[in-house]
A and B are shown apart, each in its own frame.
Chain A
Amino acid sequence: MSDVEEVVTRAHREEWARVVASLAKRFGDLDIAEESAAEAFATAVERWPLDGVPPNPGAWLTTTANRKAIDRIRRENKRDDKQKEAQMSYDGPPEPLGVIDDERLRLIFTCCHPALAMETRVALTLRMVGGLTVPEIARAFFVQETAMGQRITRAKAKIKAARIPYRVPAAEDLPSRVSGVLAVLFLVFNEGYLATGPDTDPVRGELTVEAIRLTRLIRALLPADGEVAGLLALMLLTEARRTARVSQTGELVALDEQDRGAWDTAMIAEGHHLVRERLATRIAPGRYQILAAINAVHTSARDLRDTDWSQVVALYYQLARVDPSPIVALNRAIAVAELDGPEVALAIVDGLTDTLSGYHPYHATRADLLRRLGRSRESRAAYDAAIELSGNTAEIAYLTRRRDQLG
């Protein structure tokens, strides 16, 4: 990559949300904001290699996008009201500096409005705030590009027609709205950490990095929110293990086989710090804080045997009280296997058949427990079921090797 290309890529990562947010505020229209921002970046790709990189790329992009937006409005013959409106807000008093971050937060909360379907919120956040292209988002969610394009277009049309406000919700609505935003960011992160489609990279760093960046943004504005801190810690402690998670041959590496020396110590330290900070508040933790605590135990151990499994199991019991889902019960069983043996764990897992038989980690977990109990024939069948249901290439490679190693 040339130096200029690198600058454009970095500017896109760092400035996209800022440019879209400032245009959304000025023109009150997400369509205009997004399309004009995209045009400004396209212009940068053409111009910067010829004219040189401007001294302040962010300001250049915002100015260019503003001009593109005004051109667009002029072309669409909406000159009278929209242009007047834009001019008015442009001539308003200068905004204090911190407001720029608030603009991005407004954008996140608008994209994650509860009146939009969850999958639409994720897609819209990735597009408007994360700057991912529609084909990229379509690939991440394993749907047709046209379908994803329509979903995003429909969402923007609903925001406009139903007048979903472009603002951070009022203080009393914030707790309920934040939980939706965190759920979106966690989905974005998980899609990056274990991509569901067979035609993408098995691990998508651009999604995990983006989810962490957006969570940091929420945290900077809501520093007292325990679940925001918990989710950030959870993401950092998970992301710290990313490079150790796929082998050079493209196979998923399970926790017990990972090279712990390859884990990112700075991220682990930051994650641990956040978990300790939350513990010190003595406020009952929510789902993300408990998950972060579980990951803190894992990342504190030198190897798998050194892991404090009784602590992990206790935390899973705590998690099950907050989130009594069968998936939590399945993950708890995996920890129980380390503490009380595979037989006890298998009994728990077998009790989940009705609800989880379509979920590939259920079969993968059963396969591993049956393997440890020497029940090879049943284990092989469970591996087959897991392979059948998984879409992730690295995970399929891992499960296939495990199955083929059975005696």
Chain B
Amino acid sequence: MQYLISVIDHRTASATDDEMAAIGTFNEQLVADGHWVFAGGLSAPSDATVIDGRGDGPPIFTDGPFLESKEYLAGFWVFEAPDLDVALKLAGAASKACNRRLEVRPFL
């Protein structure tokens, strides 16, 4: 079972050196324990482009995010975990490592 761990922030690429080091150590442990799937930081929503290809014509491209909000998805992990308790425990350690609030959601 995989879980998406969203990093909630109002800035992007804002981690300090200490935070980056803590994230690195945490990620190594994730790999060692078999929970690692993927992780990455995202650039700011202002860099986003929304694409709408639902109509008959060519896709329409729009500058900006699909949702304006003060806080947004600044990065994410994908964990492999047998159940929510394990995912929550890992997310607790992840939140401490990156010093940000996180949201956990299961993949279908």
Which one of B1, B82, B88, B105 has the highest number of Cβ atoms from chain A below 10 Å of its Cβ?
B88
Bound complex: CA A169 to CA B83 (Å): 12
A161-B82 Cα distance, complex, nearest whole Å:
12
A146-190 residues at the B interface, CB under 8 angstroms: 161-165, 169, 173
Contact between B88 and A163 (Cβ–Cβ < 8 Å)? no
> Is the pair B85, A162 in contact by a Cβ cutoff of 8 Å?
no
CB distance from A120 to the nearest CB of B (A): 15
The chain B residue sitting closest to A169, CB to CB, is B85
> For the complex, is A381 an interface residue (Cβ under 8 Å from B)?
no
Please tell me if the beta carbons of B83 and A165 are within 8 angstroms of each other in the complex.
yes
**B106 at the binding interface (Cβ < 8 Å):** yes
Indicate if the CB atoms of A115 and B83 lie closer than 8 Å.
no
Partner of B108, one of A161, A164, A169: A161
Q: What residues of A have a CB within 8 angstroms of the CB of B105 in the complex?
A: 162
A115 proximity list for chain B (CB < 8 A): 84, 88
Q: Which B residues between 65 and 108 are near A, CB-CB below 8 angstroms?
A: 82-85, 88, 104-106, 108
* A158: min CB distance to chain B, Å: 9
Task: For chain A, residues 92 to 130, give those with C-beta under 8 angstroms from any C-beta of chain B.
Answer: 113, 115
Q: Determine the distance from Cα of A115 to Cα of B84 in the docked complex, in whole angstroms.
A: 9
Chain B residues whose C-beta falls within 8 Å of the C-beta of A163 in the assembled complex: 1, 82-84, 106
- In this complex, the interface size class of chain A, counting residues with CB under 8 Å from chain B, is under 10
Q: How many Å lie between the Cα of A165 and that of B1 in the bound state?
A: 12
Q: Please, which residues of chain B bring their CB within 8 A of the CB of A161?
A: 106, 108
CA distance A161 to B104 in the complex (A): 12
Q: Point out the residues of chain A lying under 8 angstroms from B82, CB to CB.
A: 163
CA of A165 to CA of B87 in the docked complex: distance in angstroms? 11
The interface residues of chain A lying within 8 Å CB-to-CB of B83 are: 163-165
On chain A, the residues within 8 Å of B1 by CB distance are: 163
Q: Which residues of B contact A162 (CB under 8 A)?
A: 84, 104-106
Q: Which residues of B from 27 to 86 have beta carbons under 8 Å from A?
A: 82-85
Shortest Cβ gap from A269 to chain B (Å): 40
Q: How far is the CA of A254 from the CA of B105 in the complex (A)?
A: 49
Complex formed: what's the CA distance from A235 to B46 in Å?
56
B6 smallest CB distance to A (angstroms): 14
Closest-CB distance, A117 to chain B (whole angstroms): 15
Once the chains are docked, how many angstroms separate the CA of A369 from the CA of B1? 60
Determine how close the nearest CB of chain B comes to the CB of A302; give it in whole angstroms: 51
**Alpha-carbon gap, A163 to B84, bound state (A):** 5
Distance of A115 from chain B, by nearest CB (Å): 6
Determine the distance from Cα of A113 to Cα of B104 in the docked complex, in whole angstroms: 15
**Which B residues touch A169, using CB under 8 A?**
85
Q: B81: nearest residue on chain A (CB-CB)?
A: A163
Interface centre among B83, B84, B104 (most CB of A within 10 A): B84
Most buried by B among A113, A162, A165, A169: A162
Are B108 and A165 touching (Cβ within 8 A)? no
Q: How far apart are the CA atoms of A161 and B1 in the complex, in Å?
A: 10
Bound: A169/B84 CA distance, A: 12
| Residues from chain A with Cβ under 8 Å of B106 in the complex | 161-163
Tell me, rounded to whole Å, the shortest Cβ–Cβ distance linking B93 to chain A. Answer: 14
CA A162 – CA B1 in complex, angstroms? 9
Complex: A237 Cα to B96 Cα, angstroms: 43
Tell me the minimal C-beta distance from A167 to chain B in angstroms: 8
> How close is A180's CB to chain B, nearest CB, in angstroms?
13
CA distance A164 to B88 in the complex (A): 10
Task: Give chain B interface residues in 1-42, CB to chain A under 8 Å.
Answer: 1
Q: Which residues of A contact B88 (CB under 8 A)?
A: 115
CB distance from B100 to the nearest CB of A (A): 19
B residues less than 8 Å from A164 (CB atoms): 83-85
In whole angstroms, how far apart are the Cα atoms of A102 and B104 in the complex? 29
Which residue of A is nearest B105, CB measured?
A: A162
Ranked nearest first, the 4 interchain pairs of A and B with the lowest CB-CB distance are A165-B83, A163-B83, A162-B84, A162-B106
Known: A161-B108, A162-B84, A164-B83. 4 other contacts (CB 8 A): A161-B106, A162-B106, A163-B1, A163-B82
Instruction: List 14 A-B pairs, Cβ < 8 Å.
Output: A115-B84, A161-B106, A161-B108, A162-B104, A163-B82, A163-B83, A163-B84, A163-B106, A164-B83, A164-B84, A164-B85, A165-B84, A165-B85, A173-B85
